[in-house]
Amino acid sequence: MSIINWYEGYGPYGHRQIEYQNKIKKIKQDKKDRQDKKRRRATTPPRGSRSRQRRAYVDGNGELIFEDI
């Protein structure tokens, strides 16, 4: 809360002061959301890790064999 709240709604510009405050709050929140979005995007690992790629095939005995690529 800021000092502005003391005269919120009072005087000729009271209501404008509140609108202005809300507008600033929204802008700050939007900025924060954008930053969070970027941060989230950066930390998500790539889909399907490349470290465990393998090929599956059936050998002569009918067994399933997984071979690392």
Does this model's pTM top 0.85? My answer is no
Backbone angles phi, psi at 31, to 5 degrees: -60, -45
Chain centroid to CA 30: how far? 12
Distance CA 67, CA 69 (A): 6
Q: Where are the domains of the chain?
A: 3-68
Supply the pLDDT for residue 6: 53
pLDDT per residue, tens digit, the chain (69 aa), is 455 555 555 666 666 777 888 899 999 999 999 888 877 776 666 666 666 677 888 888 888 888 776
How far, in Å, are 24, 40, 41, 54, 55 from residue 11 at the CA level? 21, 44, 46, 73, 76
